[in-house]
Structure 1
Amino acid sequence: MIFSSIDELTEYYKRYGQSMGFGVTKRSSKNGDDGKKYFTLACSRGTKYVSKSKNLLKPNPITKTQCKARLNGCIGLDGTVTISRIVLEHNHDLSPTKARYFRSSKKLEPHLKKRLKLNDQAGINVSRNYRSLVIEAGGYENLTFGEKDCRNYIDKVRRLRLGTGDADAIQNYFVRMQKQNSQFYYVVDIDDNSRLRNVFWVDARCRAAYEYFGEVVTFDTTYLTNKYDMPFAPFVGVNHHGQSVLLGCALLSNEDTETFTWLFSTWLDSMHGRTPNAIITDQDKAMKNAIEVVFPKARHRWCLWHIMKKVPEKLGRRSDYESIKELLHDVVYDSLSKSDFMEKWEKMIEDFKLQDNEWLKGLFDERNRWVPVFLRDTFWAGMSTTQRSESMNSFFDGYVNSKTTLKQFVEQYDNALRDKIEKENLADFGSFNTSIACLSHYGFESQFQKAFTNAKFKEFQDEVAAMIHCHTFIERLDGLNSIYSVIESKKKFDKIYDILFKVSFNEKDFEIQCMCCLFQFKGILCRHILCVLKLTGKTESIPSYYIFSQWRKDIRRRHTHIKCGFDHFVGNVELQRVDKACAAFYEVASKVINSDHDFLKMMNWIKDIKDEFASKETSPANIVEEDGSEQNQVTKILDPVKT
């Protein structure tokens, strides 16, 4: 038989499969040496079943039976399609009455798509929407699709659509927030039909926090992709307590290079053009392209967890999978140097004959983006994954759910952020009001105890405690420049083994560096450097440049004095005036007062202003008595606004 196009043949074979009672799938396609294109359409129950279940006691249903029924076709040089071979026999039962459930038989006609769209806009839920189509068709058996197909289509439509009410509400909310604080920043992106497409916003406090915590940023879009109409895309940093801090967020309609480029550029504008030194994302080509355009100088790291999670999928079918997996973990996590990684990687590829594995080839070519030993010379705030973004996402779980509308989501953002700020304030109080007892008598531990927040001092103490597992000796002494060897004993799989670390120390300039690069990576001195300081007797104090400023508790950070644009200011002009005055005064106090003379001048000016205001008589209409009522005005208390 000859057909005019591959689509015509595919539809013909699908109709044949539906009449006989089997599903159809496209199996393969390749270009021949003769210039023709060859392809195969086959029974959906073909190929061999491979179990992907992680629990042997709960196996997945088996659909594959290695059925040989298939159709081979060829696209000629003139564009016509010819059937070259066909196998009609199946090795399983056929049922025409059940054929409508096969994926290849499902089809949603354009006029039905329009009906579903209109009914959804009218507020009719998917179940009722689908049942009306069933009744109209005269029964389920007369439809070529199921309720799940309707739900998937409507979800796709909603992703690109925001109702007028939602769009207006979001716009009004943003305008209101900006009136309360001019530093509230938002951008609404619309398409050619004036439909809302993407939304980005960041409040004044988050923008100020970026000044201190914007060196390393994680960005992730996986949280809301399947639960909500639009993916939620937060920019997240790490504060001085090691907590996640929000640095802006967006709701997106697409996840392509154009959308990410728009978002990154918008976010950069909101942060006064200051790019982060490093950014962590998942292994997404669109994100990579956008980052290269907008943040060309930033170090871009792929989430290590997302990459290692793909190992079972990419290599799990091999009989020697467990051995490869164990060796791959050793190569990735336990390589001490770049040369060590290269040597182990090459040995793994050769021993298991993985030269033709395209996935591993691609990872090796991009090793500078994900292998820890290639990245530890850069400050990442101790992060190797987008877990920060995911933890920020989970923080919103108590405020939004699968039924939350977009305008509700934007408003609930305020409530969630308020809790986040309270947690930071509590941690600030904890570091102010309490201290963690030192483990040793070394002066440098006391120095870090006074400088670091409690959470970060605990991490430093972990290094102090681990000194017990280290043995230090001088390898080479060259004047004031010395090389020390630190042998650390570690336990793995109930076995104890030793690892050698080299530490260089210039006593004149007090420059000390370890090959583990923990200080560069995390901002905390490692156990190996502490051992060298102990051996050389430099235990009383260390230079301040080794006390990483991002972890200090004695720094006054501007963002902690900025009120967020929460709606409790709405309609309260007095609170708005007080907030603006406090913000203006703090700017003067933090940037202008640099001496006792400036301080006295400012205090005298404040005293004069207070005396001037005190001399003015207050209007009787605004005098509030002890019971809280006003003498000349009665205000009716209304019900809360319904959500």
Structure 2
Amino acid sequence: MVVQVESRIYSASFDTDIDIQDEYFTQDGFTYTGLLLGAIQHPPGYVVQQRVDDCGNEEMSNNLQSNMEFGNRKQSNEESSTTFEKQLDEDPWNLSMFDDIQLDQIYDAAPVDKRDQKDEQDKSMDNEDNTDQQREITEEDINIFLNNEKLEAEGVKQDENAENETVNILKPEVGMEFGTREEAHKFFNLYAYNDGFSVSIVSSYRTASKKRNNERQSTVIAKSNCKVEMVVSEKNGLWKITGLHLQHNHALCPQSRFYRSHIYMSDGEKEMIKTMKHCNMPIRDMVAVLAFIRGGMTQLPYNKRKVSNYSSSINREVTNNDMMEVLDWFAMKKKENPGFYHSLDLDENNKVRSVFWADARAILYYDICGDCISFDTTFLTNKYNLPFAPFVGISPHGKTYLFACAFIVNESTQSFEWCFREFKKAMGGKSPISIITDQDKAMGSAIPEIFKDAVHKCCLFHVKKKIDDKGGPLFQANEGLYEEMQDIIDKSLTVHEFESLWQAMINEHNVGHIKIFQDLWKSRKKWVPVYFKNNFFPFIQTTARSEGTNALFKKGVGPQFSMTSFLREYQRIMDNIHATEDQLDHNVVNKKVPEKMYLTRYYIERQAHELYNISIFMKFQNILKDVTRLQIRDEEKGKMYWVFQATNYPIKEHRKRDYLVQVNEETQDYSCICCRFNKDGLL
């Protein structure tokens, strides 16, 4: 930015009776700079005369007016030193070149007639009053000023002459001109930062009339009724300071970074915030990085709230072509891998109602480990407020895996049927063996229509949460009821055991008339674990994996984000999932569990290590560790055994249970009443 400003010409005058010949100025090596700095001796007999004014200040009386003009203007004196000219052209704002000039000891170089002296002084005063000469304020000048302020804060001693000169340049004066109104505002704001107050544009108006009877609308909240103002007016394409008042009625806070007008975030910092946002970096970490680059929190010209607001606004913009960008993203993924699948549900007006997509690699994973899926919906992930429905499963390493995603128009049975139908189509017509959801009735109606052979189980966590929410006072009034109910739900080994113990509990505590227990009994075959002990639900009893996936998305997107922003977050999450799976696949081939990490000397543990990958083997070890609390009793040697918890085990059971294990030594078949192998795929 180059700001044109009008300034006064610094001048001084002095007298001399010495008649200096032209030969003195034409001698070899003569320069005015050398004469000023003392490198060239003044003529013999030359005497400096000074006088003191009424205030005690020394001022020079000389017949020669010395003009020091800054900027890139051409030197008026054609006989000036070429050395001085070159230095001024290379760095016109380098104030250090004037550090050694003693303004109170400038020598006269030629005799001047008294009448000419008087005319010259009148001309100088007239120039000062009219301020008819200009100088420029550049970005370099502003940077020098800010750098001096920084060095002063660090305790580095600065040249007072250079510092005062820079401050004077940055001080507004009537008559200064600027290229645009924004340049004027920026200049005054910089002055306010140095002086210690905040500024704002109070009013702005355009008129062709010289009479202004209309009332101005102010946007400033007056706190101290301070009258400081700078008025700029536009004329002939330039903005000129026409009014100025700099007297404050309040205390100042020089260089305070907390004033609103001084809050500033560079374009580079904004780009860095975008990068950190795409990396899902928390706001506190963003602020820490930005502060480190600036040199500490005290050097940061904005606060955490400013960073948070900008971070939230990155993807908040509402664009009319959002769906076109989504289609372009789908086309790009399809081009990268033809196995990518997507589908749109359109209404009668050809508007998009629902969106479904599945990654090509996810489709391959589903063919390997898609027997069991978890399905749940969540809100507040996009600006359209469409429910987000991820299809979540378990990878070969026991980790959560995302098979497909959908945005549906609502949570009706028709919407779920469309979503399930597209999922089945994307997966080559293969339906899951088992599916777990919450107790949503629309889901429950749609699942048997599309996944006809799938076993549908409701989330145990949601059922228990409803019991806790509705039955709190009841459990407080019936001591032992809550513990008894939890034991029956979680530990029952057979359907007969569950149903008989449940009825006994109802009768003992006399709660059969209470609606919550009636509803639980009617829906028991949808949520009680014992009814699903022979079905494949590996390491899963709830929709926690779905809820964890929803929470993972909500860390990076929210209700203000567009669909394209959500797809970028989806791709980032899928990349992380695949990176984890690739690392675990690498470990299977290249890593083995060391001998010292085995828990027992049983051969079955070594055999499991050969059959399972490392992640599943560690789950098997946890089960094997739990087996050490059990003891065995022969019922029929070689055919039937009873397994039970040791009586001296410190953690007591709520109800003692024996586990029946049946053995066929000829076929080497083993079956336990707990059916863990059937449910989890582990012995």
Letter in 2 for 1:222: T
Secondary structure class of the residue paired with 1:171: helix
Secondary structure class of the residue paired with 2:321: helix
Q: How many residue pairs are counted as aligned between the two chains?
A: 361
Tell whether the 8 Å contact from 1:377 to 1:520 is kept in structure 2 after alignment. yes
Deviates further, 412-421 or 224-233: 224-233
Secondary structure class of the residue paired with 2:621: helix
1:438 corresponds in structure 2 to 598
**Distance across 2 between alignment mates of 1:440 and 1:413:** 43
1:367 corresponds in structure 2 to 524
Give yes or no for the alignment of 1:243 onto 2:399.
yes
Letter in 1 for 2:628: I
**Distance across 2 between alignment mates of 1:465 and 1:228:** 50
**Distance across 2 between alignment mates of 1:228 and 1:207:** 27
Please show how residues 594-633 of structure 1 align to structure 2 within 5 Å: none
1:467 corresponds in structure 2 to 627
1:80-125 deviations in Å (ceiling 9; x for gaps): xxxxxxxxxxxxxxxxxxxxxxxxxxxxxxxxxxxxxxxxxxxxxx
Letter in 2 for 1:194: N
Give yes or no for the alignment of 1:523 onto 2:681.
yes
Please show how residues 537-576 of structure 1 align to structure 2 within 5 Å: none
**Distance across 2 between alignment mates of 1:218 and 1:492:** 36
Partner residue of 1:264 out of 420, 424, 434: 420
Partner residue of 2:581 out of 424, 435, 439: 424
Residue 444 of structure 1: CA displacement? 2.1
Secondary structure class of the residue paired with 2:644: strand
Give yes or no for the alignment of 1:449 onto 2:628.
no
Secondary structure class of the residue paired with 1:310: helix
1:12 corresponds in structure 2 to none
**Distance across 1 between alignment mates of 2:624 and 2:647:** 15
1:284 corresponds in structure 2 to 440
Partner residue of 1:330 out of 487, 497, 516: 487
Tell whether the 8 Å contact from 2:381 to 2:559 is kept in structure 1 after alignment. no
Partner residue of 1:218 out of 374, 377, 391: 374
1:207 corresponds in structure 2 to 363
Give yes or no for the alignment of 1:514 onto 2:677.
no
Secondary structure class of the residue paired with 2:404: strand
Please show how residues 262-411 of structure 1 align to structure 2 within 5 Å: 262-318=418-474, 320=477, 323-411=480-568
Residue 352 of structure 1: CA displacement? 2.8
2:216 corresponds in structure 1 to none
Secondary structure class of the residue paired with 1:330: helix
Please show how residues 176-215 of structure 1 align to structure 2 within 5 Å: 176-215=332-371
**Distance across 2 between alignment mates of 1:399 and 1:490:** 51
Tell whether the 8 Å contact from 2:609 to 2:617 is kept in structure 1 after alignment. yes
Partner residue of 2:659 out of 492, 501, 506: 501
Residue 258 of structure 1: CA displacement? 0.7
**Distance across 1 between alignment mates of 2:465 and 2:513:** 21
Letter in 2 for 1:233: A
Change over 3 Å in CA distance of 1:473–1:326 after alignment to 2? closer
Residue 321 of structure 1: CA displacement? 5.6
Letter in 1 for 2:589: F
Residue 253 of structure 1: CA displacement? 1.9
**Distance across 1 between alignment mates of 2:481 and 2:381:** 32
Residue 270 of structure 1: CA displacement? 0.6
Change over 3 Å in CA distance of 1:394–1:429 after alignment to 2? farther
Please show how residues 87-98 of structure 1 align to structure 2 within 5 Å: none
**Distance across 1 between alignment mates of 2:362 and 2:447:** 21
2:280 corresponds in structure 1 to none
Tell whether the 8 Å contact from 1:489 to 1:496 is kept in structure 2 after alignment. no
Residue 346 of structure 1: CA displacement? 0.5
Change over 3 Å in CA distance of 1:226–1:334 after alignment to 2? farther
Secondary structure class of the residue paired with 2:628: helix
1:243-288 deviations in Å (ceiling 9; x for gaps): 0111111012200111001100111011111111000000110000
Secondary structure class of the residue paired with 2:657: strand
Residue 386 of structure 1: CA displacement? 0.6
Tell whether the 8 Å contact from 1:315 to 1:321 is kept in structure 2 after alignment. no
**Distance across 1 between alignment mates of 2:599 and 2:396:** 22
**Distance across 2 between alignment mates of 1:426 and 1:223:** 32
2:49 corresponds in structure 1 to none
**Distance across 2 between alignment mates of 1:491 and 1:418:** 50
**Distance across 2 between alignment mates of 1:321 and 1:163:** 58
Give yes or no for the alignment of 1:255 onto 2:411.
yes
Secondary structure class of the residue paired with 1:283: coil
Unaligned runs of 5+ in 2: 1-317
Secondary structure class of the residue paired with 1:407: helix
Letter in 2 for 1:383: I
**Distance across 1 between alignment mates of 2:585 and 2:466:** 39
**Distance across 2 between alignment mates of 1:389 and 1:215:** 16
Secondary structure class of the residue paired with 1:316: helix
1:380-430 deviations in Å (ceiling 9; x for gaps): 012110111122223334432343212210232112211111111122223
1:79 corresponds in structure 2 to none
Tell whether the 8 Å contact from 2:381 to 2:553 is kept in structure 1 after alignment. no
Task: Report the TM-score, using the length of structure 1 for normalisation.
Answer: 0.53
**Distance across 2 between alignment mates of 1:302 and 1:254:** 20
Partner residue of 1:175 out of 327, 331, 346: 331
1:477-533 deviations in Å (ceiling 9; x for gaps): 4xx6x11111124899953675311000011111110001111111111xxxxxxxx
**Distance across 1 between alignment mates of 2:561 and 2:454:** 35
Tell whether the 8 Å contact from 1:438 to 1:449 is kept in structure 2 after alignment. no
Tell whether the 8 Å contact from 1:185 to 1:204 is kept in structure 2 after alignment. yes
**Distance across 1 between alignment mates of 2:384 and 2:497:** 45
Instruction: From the CA coordinates, give the structure whose radius of gyration is larger.
Output: 2
Change over 3 Å in CA distance of 1:190–1:227 after alignment to 2? closer
Give yes or no for the alignment of 1:415 onto 2:575.
no
Residue 205 of structure 1: CA displacement? 0.3
Change over 3 Å in CA distance of 1:257–1:163 after alignment to 2? farther
Task: Report the TM-score, using the length of structure 2 for normalisation.
Answer: 0.50
**Distance across 1 between alignment mates of 2:647 and 2:523:** 30
**Distance across 2 between alignment mates of 1:259 and 1:460:** 40
Tell whether the 8 Å contact from 1:277 to 1:299 is kept in structure 2 after alignment. yes
Residue 242 of structure 1: CA displacement? 0.9
Tell whether the 8 Å contact from 2:383 to 2:561 is kept in structure 1 after alignment. no
Letter in 2 for 1:430: N
Tell whether the 8 Å contact from 1:221 to 1:233 is kept in structure 2 after alignment. yes
Change over 3 Å in CA distance of 1:491–1:417 after alignment to 2? farther
Tell whether the 8 Å contact from 2:384 to 2:559 is kept in structure 1 after alignment. yes
